[in-house]
Chains A and B, each alone.
Chain A
């Protein structure tokens, strides 16, 4: 146990904790696992409860198994067109009174370079009456095997976490493989705005003009100026001399005989250039404490990607992002990749992240120049159980932010709008007082994509 953390824990304990809180904190403190997600599994893919399919006899096909062929992946350009078509079709479904069928779900694949690299896989499912085998526990699922070993012998081990990445391994890979397309976040933002009817921002120019001017020797001027443009000047002189009939033979030109008018001299002068600056600044805050393992993280990150994409579209690419992770302490990370993939740390103190945002904004004087958005994702746990520290920081944040959106991905086991963060937020009455500035979205950790988008609508609507 880290000394700092245990310090904090002991202090909190002295202040008095219920046994339940105590148990929760201890669990987080002693948790040694990680919850970085397997790289290849896009979050939001849902639970893979029925793992029996991974080595099913029906996963073997002659072409892939016998001849070793794999299906080609579709190209991005083809897919983006079809995404539009599919979404149009989906919209039509709604008009006709049937539920939507396309998920733009499985989204994120942050690469180390370029943070707006996003994977959109349009997916759907054909519903049928099927037997559900997943009602049994995972242990009941047995498989075939061959070789030596007495009954009861352990013949192999497999890390629990890797389970997610199992799909598509081994033979039959082509079939499980995704037909991914890479698109950028801007496209996703457009799709979200257009197809899922996320609202457009009404007033984007709240802050003062967001253009800045730089000066550069780009304009040309005749007669005087800072720098003679020799090439342009010579051209002009030749032109003048042709007009004057001073150039009888283009085959042999004698520059010494040129007549030069003062007007022929072309100079470059300093000029004002508009330099567009980002209009919006988004802070993404993520709780990466022990309790955030697995789905809650995936959910929060998926939602943040969509929010980011939407803002990117709204502000015509002029969006800057800052990423902050917090457990009991907050730290800023440089890119989405780190934000997404960072491993689990210790306990939870929401206030630390809020404080860091306030500091950054203050030190860098950001409030003056930007529309600031802050989105925070957590599972609702907070060691600061009554928000004594969080609420003041939150209030401060709301003085400069355009919108603060808090997402709570509740664990299914503790479901029922019962998390600390939610409780103290409600108690503070900030939600009712300033509905324009602060929004809260509470969902279950197994929420689907539709629910996510619903949540975003709520977080960002006017």
Chain B
């Protein structure tokens, strides 16, 4: 790995100037490296972070058939990493014009990393720096603890997709505190609405009473108000105190919970495991936003590399080369999804939508097709608006909000279905639907979404740990449950239970000749398609797994 030469760096600096002029915002310092294939061999298992800790699984081909991207929520071949300064990697034989294009792409990524709020928790430190010190700590521990260290990494990584990423974000992006006391907030926001379920008229009466109290006396008003409340609901204080306590506990994700509450880890001789777990957790948190903004991030970068490249005065004569490469990257496949193409088109679509003032209630109320088409309020706000999106949105919001029928029609998008043609022995791809709703749903279904698993403290009795998988229409991958729970049991030091849902299927009892590559029964039994769900509890005790229905 070596830095790019001065000539190329000069090109990069030129790109930076033009990108900043166009409105992108990023730190001025960046590092660009030339990587050979051999470098990639070492970098890609470490998700392009040169200083990531060593772990033996990185040296092995990892089976990826099942939930490939769910397992590895980061890009093993990303060109730019979200560090301070941002580091990017290049092929050593890129021609200059291509470097100009890639530099713009990279700068837009850096702009996204450094402005999108989903990356908020990565803004205040340099990940490569902290990873290096972690790597050294792990190397030192490995020399002392040997292979036990690798078990801790393994078990921690087993649950690192359950990190409380959104909790972390909400801690950082908390809205400014209101002046009101917590007690007051709780009374009006939770107690009255959820616990007592009072009618609106009563609720308003209470608000009025409070306002009266405050008006009467600024200092004592609240006290007076609550003394009245206690008369009416004597249980209020206890419920409120209980809630206060619960809240602090519930903020912990599984790894944190293990680190704070596990008796096994609390032992003097096992204390060294905690920092290792923290490293795994921190690393996972760092990569979380990347996979949740894939379409936006690539769309944003493609949008800007196109815009800026075409404006660049240094590349005259290479327009055709650019067009060829660019269209290859950003063309919509006949069947399949391409985040570059989709994201870029959405940004363009939204920009002109807002430019014409179509992203407004006024426009939405128009039902006349012709009027809709001709609508143009000429707001000129499009650019500002997509910058706002780049600050505040993630893939889910981006797609959920803006993939509408006009967008689907404009780019001739459709949901492609696949069905078996038995006589020909082929899979047929066909246009399943052109409705925006199904296209949106199909997109949302492909988005990364780890299971939501929380700790149920009421059911965690006698030092057992009780985990509940919130059911979202999908079961967990069965083969993985045993080893994952084995790891949790080890770290917890006592039996672990997991409540989840499974499909009960009546297997079709029919002799058939299997066709290779075909996993579906030939004779469709319509009743077999209906899924029945069963809530089950897995128990991992003394490294043995058992299951029971509940």
Binding site for B on A (CB under 8 A): 20, 23-24, 27-28, 31, 33, 35, 37, 45-50, 52-53, 55-72, 74, 82, 86, 89, 92, 96-99, 102-103, 121-135, 137-139, 141-164, 167, 172, 174-176, 178-179, 290-291, 293-295, 411, 413-414
Contacts and interface: CB of A to CB of B under 8 A. Distances in A.
A66 B334 contact: no
Shortest Cβ-Cβ A-B pairs, 9 listed: A294-B516, A145-B416, A62-B79, A61-B77, A163-B517, A55-B336, A72-B37, A127-B480, A146-B332
B481 interface: yes
Contact of B413 (A126, A138, A145): A145
Of A60, A141, A148, A179, chain B has the most CB atoms within 10 Å of the CB of A60
Contacts of B96: none
27 contacts: A27-B511, A28-B513, A31-B513, A46-B65, A56-B337, A60-B338, A66-B102, A71-B37, A71-B44, A97-B543, A127-B158, A127-B479, A128-B480, A129-B161, A130-B480, A132-B475, A139-B420, A143-B415, A144-B342, A144-B442, A145-B431, A151-B414, A155-B416, A157-B428, A160-B516, A163-B518, A411-B514
A132 B77 contact: no
Contacts of A124: 57, 60-63
Contacts of A156: 334-335, 428-429
A151 B413 CA distance: 11
B511 A24 contact: yes
Contacts of B41: 71-72, 74
Contacts of A150: 431
Contacts of A122: 60-61
Contacts of A167: 65
A99 B158 CA distance: 14
B37 A161 contact: no
Given A129-B469, A144-B439, A414-B511, A179 B338 contact: no
Contacts of B477: 129-132
Q: How large is the interface on B (under 10, 10 to 19, 20 to 34, 35 or more residues)?
A: 35 or more
Contacts of A135: 474-475, 503, 531
Contacts of B65: 45-50, 167
A98 to B, nearest CB: 7
Interface string B437-481: 001001100101111010000000000000001001011111111
A89 B147 contact: yes
Contacts of B512: 413
Contact of B79 (A28, A52, A57, A66): A66
A294 B304 CA distance: 48
Contacts of A103: 63
B419 A139 contact: yes
B149 to A, nearest CB: 12
B334 A130 contact: no
B424 A138 contact: no
Contacts of A47: 65, 519
B60 A139 contact: no
Given A86-B59, A152-B431, 6 more contacts: A24-B511, A99-B486, A126-B62, A142-B415, A155-B335, A160-B420
Given A56-B446, A62-B79, A161-B515, A132 B67 contact: yes
A155 B430 contact: yes
B398 to A, nearest CB: 12
Contacts of B472: 131
Contacts of A290: 513
A128 B71 contact: yes
B527 interface: no
B367 interface: no
Interface stretch (B17-25, B87-95, B220-228): B87-95
A243 to B, nearest CB: 62
B519 A132 contact: no
B76 interface: yes
Contacts of B295: 57
B417 A142 contact: yes
A179 B42 CA distance: 12
Contacts of A133: 67, 474
A160 B331 CA distance: 27
B92 to A, nearest CB: 10
Nearest to A151: B431
A128 B484 contact: yes
Given A62-B77, A130-B66, A139-B418, A293 B515 contact: yes
A242 B396 CA distance: 97
A126 B74 CA distance: 15
Interface in B52-86: 56-57, 59-71, 75-80
Contacts of B150: 89
B483 interface: yes
A29 to B, nearest CB: 11
A97 B542 CA distance: 10
B151 A157 contact: no
Contacts of A89: 56, 147, 150
Contacts of B418: 138-139, 141-143
B427 A52 contact: no
A413 B78 CA distance: 44
B334 A155 contact: yes
B338 A57 contact: yes
A291 B61 CA distance: 32
B296 to A, nearest CB: 11
Contact of A295 (B342, B421, B434, B514): B514
A146 B59 contact: no
A121 B511 CA distance: 34
Interface in B282-338: 291, 294-295, 298, 329, 332-338
B67 A175 contact: no
B549 interface: no
B369 interface: no
Contact of A50 (B66, B434, B520): B66
Interface string B385-427: 0000000000000000000000000011111111111001111
B529 A98 contact: no
B370 interface: no
B63 A130 contact: no
A178 B62 CA distance: 9
B431 A155 contact: yes
A294 B453 CA distance: 37
Contacts of A98: 151, 486, 543
Contacts of A59: 69
B420 A61 contact: no
B67 A20 contact: no
A263 B511 CA distance: 85
A68 B61 contact: no
A67 B511 contact: no
A86 B56 contact: yes
A129 B476 contact: yes
A380 to B, nearest CB: 13
B79 A63 contact: yes
Contacts of B68: 53, 56
Contacts of B540: none
Of A20, A23, A49, A146, chain B has the most CB atoms within 10 Å of the CB of A146
Given A89-B56, A145-B336, A50 B291 contact: no
Given A52-B446, A145-B335, A69 B60 contact: no
A119 to B, nearest CB: 11
B433 interface: yes
Nearest to A103: B63
Given A126-B57, A156-B335, A161-B517, A151 B94 contact: no
Contact of A60 (B59, B102, B298, B509): B298
B340 interface: yes
B141 interface: no
Contacts of A97: 543
B440 to A, nearest CB: 11
Contacts of A71: 37, 40-41, 44, 77
B336 A65 contact: no
Contacts of A86: 56, 59-60
A146 B412 contact: yes
A123 B63 CA distance: 6
